[in-house]
């Protein structure tokens, strides 16, 4: 049986810009995408911690090392700069594989600096 599991997550990402006039999607700095195992144009599920809204979009890479998290197009109406988000990607895997799978989780600070990370792409760097 196939099931869907969490593949990667950027937790507590801060929105740095919102542009409703853009064609759509969400821009995330490429280095943050890599840490969470997110690839360009991958489907992204978003939870806005500030207002409780949840939505789906896709990712486009932003400039490296700038901590960019932009809400583009219609998603620009679902949050504003400073809102904290949980950004999640998922994978379909066989049930047997799911039992051994570990997601890439990246915890971010208010300026989208990496506070903690763990998962198969990296090892846990901080925390208890």
pLDDT at residue 126 greater than cutoff 50: no
Contacts of 51 (CB under 8 A, 6+ apart): 78, 79, 83
Residue 104, helix vs strand vs coil:
strand
This prediction's pTM: 0.89
Residue 128 to residue 124: CA distance in whole angstroms: 9
Active-site pick, 14, 25, 29, 101: 25
- Residue 128 predicted with pLDDT over 70: no
The question of whether 25 is a catalytic residue gets the answer yes
pLDDT tens string 26-50: 999 999 999 999 999 999 999 999 9
CA dist 96 and 93 (Å) reads 8
Higher pLDDT, 8 or 24: 8
DSSP 8-state symbol, 64: T
pLDDT in tens, 42-100: 999 999 999 999 999 999 999 999 999 999 999 999 999 999 999 999 999 998 888 88
Delineate the domains of the chain, giving CATH numbers in brackets: 2-118 (2.40.40.20)
């Amino acid at each position: 049986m196939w099931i869907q599991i969490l593949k990667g997550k950027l937790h507590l990402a801060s929105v740095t810009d919102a542009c409703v006039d853009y064609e759509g999607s969400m821009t995330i700095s490429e280095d943050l995408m890599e840490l969470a195992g997110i690839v360009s144009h991958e489907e992204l599920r978003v939870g806005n911690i500030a207002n409780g809204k949840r939505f789906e979009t896709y990712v486009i890479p932003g400039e490296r090392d700038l901590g960019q998290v932009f809400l583009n197009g219609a998603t620009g109406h679902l949050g504003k700069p400073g809102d904290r988000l949980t950004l999640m990607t998922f994978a379909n895997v066989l049930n047997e594989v799911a039992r051994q799978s570990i997601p890439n989780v990246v915890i971010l600070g208010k300026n989208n600096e990496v506070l903690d990370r763990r998962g198969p792409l990296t090892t846990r760097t901080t925390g208890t």
